[in-house]
Amino acid sequence: MDSTETLPPFSKVSSSALSFLNDNLANAQGLARASNFATELDAHCRDLDRSLTELNRALESKLFAYASFSDRSNSLFSHVNVKLTDLASATRSPSSVADGSRKADHILGEELPALAKEVARLETVRAYAETALKLDGLVGDIEDAVSSTMNKNMRKHSSTKNSEDMRLLAIKRLKQAEDVLTSVTKTRPQWSHLVAAVDHRVDRALAILRPQAIVDHRALLTSLGWPPPLSGLTSSIPDMKTSSEVPNPLFTIQGDLKHQYCENFIALCCLQELQRRRKSRQLEGHNREVALHQPLWAIEELVNPISVACQRHFSKWIDKPEFIFTLVYKITRDYVDSMDELLQPLVDEAMLVGYSCREEWISAMVTTLFTYLAKEVFPVYVGQLDEESITGIQSQARVSWLHLVDLMISFDKRIKSLVAQSGILLSLQEDGNSQKISSLSVFCDRPDWLDLWGEIELADALDKLKHETDNERNWRMKVQGAALLFGTEDYKSPAVSSAFLRRLSSVVDRCRSLPTISSRSRFLRLAGAPIIHKFLDCLLMKCQEAEGLTALTDDDALIKVANSVNAAHYFESVLKEWCEDVFFLEMGSCQDDQIGASLVDNNVTDGPTEGSVSAIFDEEIKKFEEFRMEWVEKLSVVVLRGCDARCREYMKNRRQWQEKNEEGWTVSKTLVGALDYMQGKMSVIQESLNDVDFVGVWRSLAAAMDRLLYNGILMSNAKFNNDGVERLGCDMEVLFGVFGAWCLRPEGFFPKLNEGLKLMKMEEKQLQGSVVGGETWIKENRMRHLRVFEVEKIVRNRVFTS
């Protein structure tokens, strides 16, 4: 009864307490356990008191920290107010102008900047604290969401929807955190430690989130029935007309499963876009494009299981690679439409910029193909070639290699047509993108295989050209239609030049299929340039054989040399026309860059001149030009040699220039034979040689004849009277008439003879002024090719009779 006396009056007990007592002590059983119930209440109250005490302590600590921070802030702001008040009073006080001025200068010069600096520091501390707290909260939410996602995935009966919601929440917080980090990087670059700390925690979260998202995506694809069965495709490869249609699982999914797949696909794309943004920020100032563009993760997950399924079939077709290419192309073509219609809108919704599902699907399938070729097919062929080189026994290895390359080129053309159907072909012109959709990319990764292909291609071309070069008929027949191809020019080229051009054109066409400029340039230097050198060697050999047999005195020898010059000129003109194309200019610039880099590495400064634009065959074109110039000069020298031998008596007979001319005389008989020989040889050369190079022959011959006759007659100390001058003038008119068949004013190509005759035809009084006038007299009489001592010598040899 003593205990009841301690109870408070009934009126003072709260309604909630009365309700609690009525619920627990309403019957005899409740009263029986009242003592135990009281003990439990006491323990619970003690726990509550202890929690309240701890909360009071924490609150007291927080309030004390806040009061301390507030006191410091108040002190600083009070200090600022005092300084501002002093500044205002100093500027308003009319007394002590000098002291006030000094004080104002002190305040404005020292105290005010220090005050502004302190205020800015406080603002920076405040901004740093706010940013750090915001980032800490976001990263905490990310870690909680990732942890929750992992825990739910570990449970057997977890809700897929809840797990997906937590993943979406984590992605949302990741984007918010990235926005803050991007802003901090741009506006507060000095906070690098804060950014690094947050990046470290975010990277740990992503290291868990992305693999789990991919695992979920793979499980979802398996439930959809992906990859589709390949049995229907492989059974129909030998005869594509009987191919059976395999349903596309991406088009057949419906309802909640389709919604779940789309949500999962978007989440994976969002994660990739977030990763791309983070890399872009972290690689600022570096070559970001190399690392930013990665294959689309969601498309990779579609291709990987297909790749595994395909390789089981590929292993059976090592000896029949055409089946491999057919299967890969058919899978790529059959499912490419679903990428455009179903998945591309999801990528756009995820705001993943710069990605085309069609392009990513095609490039992933092509990557599967050339990866298999690089690992399984090419090593087998290389081993066969090595064995062939060791044993010396001819095998089918080279034929198999070229057949495989043909299949790759054909496959790449069909793949490009698939890409072109989406209208994005222009975006694939760059080396990086075109490499993704080309099976020939295997040669970009393995330059040694590219070199091997070039050697095989060259050997095949030279084997086929050997028969063409050995056939003498090809050296006599002319190329048909050359004048139509190159305007009015007819190069009179033999048919063998056309055969070499066809082979070179074939190598160039195969080179066009390579995806990078550097690989094209390398291949063309390996397989194309040696064909040109071989052709030039054949031409040189033909010319040397003709020269060695008859020293080019025979008409047949002249014709052989003329044919070789024609072939060189025709080939050179074709190469020049090709090299005006951007395709060849790009390879030439790439080659110049490589040469320049090697020169820099070797500390050589005389590299390609800055601003020069060259093509890949510039060196070969220059060699053809040198070959033509050399043998055109030799043709003119041969004719000159014959003329020199036949007009030697004519030049030695000095007495004829003082003899009286016979009646009816027209030309010196000793000169007629030389002119007849010249005209005969030049007719043969004109008939055989192309018009452009023939101009070089007769001009070179005219210049040589001018020197020969001028030195042999006018500079030979022979005396000339009036009849001799008339005789020489008539002879030269006949000589000029021979060259008049090829130009309108032939005397212009005999400058020394022409001016020497002009000098000798002058009157005696006029010539007397030449001795006194010297160079002035020569200029006044418009003689540009004779020097003073030559004029004096000719004038001394001129004899005037009364």
**pLDDT of the residue at 608:** 43
Average pLDDT over residues 683-703: 94
> What is the model's pTM?
0.75
576 contacts: CB under 8 Å, gap ≥ 6: 621
Q: How confident is the model at residue 604 (pLDDT cuts 50, 70, 90)?
A: very low
The string over 489-513, giving b where at least 16 C-beta atoms fall within 10 Å of a residue's C-beta and e elsewhere, is ebbbbbbbbbbbbebbebbbebbeb
**Count of CB atoms situated within 10 Å of the CB of 324:** 26
Q: How confident is the model at residue 156 (pLDDT cuts 50, 70, 90)?
A: very low
Residue 478, classed as helix, strand or coil, is strand
Locate 773 and state its tokens: 């006038």
Average pLDDT over residues 186-215: 90
**pLDDT of the residue at 239:** 46
**pLDDT tops 60 at residue 431:** no
Average pLDDT over residues 38-48: 77
**pLDDT tops 70 at residue 447:** yes
Q: How confident is the model at residue 428 (pLDDT cuts 50, 70, 90)?
A: very low
**pLDDT of the residue at 68:** 66
pLDDT digits (tens, 9 = 90+) for 533-547: 999 999 999 999 999
Distance between CA 623 and CA 22 in Å, rounded?
117
Q: How confident is the model at residue 488 (pLDDT cuts 50, 70, 90)?
A: very low
Q: How confident is the model at residue 157 (pLDDT cuts 50, 70, 90)?
A: very low
**In DSSP terms, which residues pair with 494 in a beta bridge?**
478
Q: What is the overall mean pLDDT for the chain?
A: 82
Residue 13 amino acid letter = V
Average pLDDT over residues 324-340: 91
DSSP code, position 341:
I
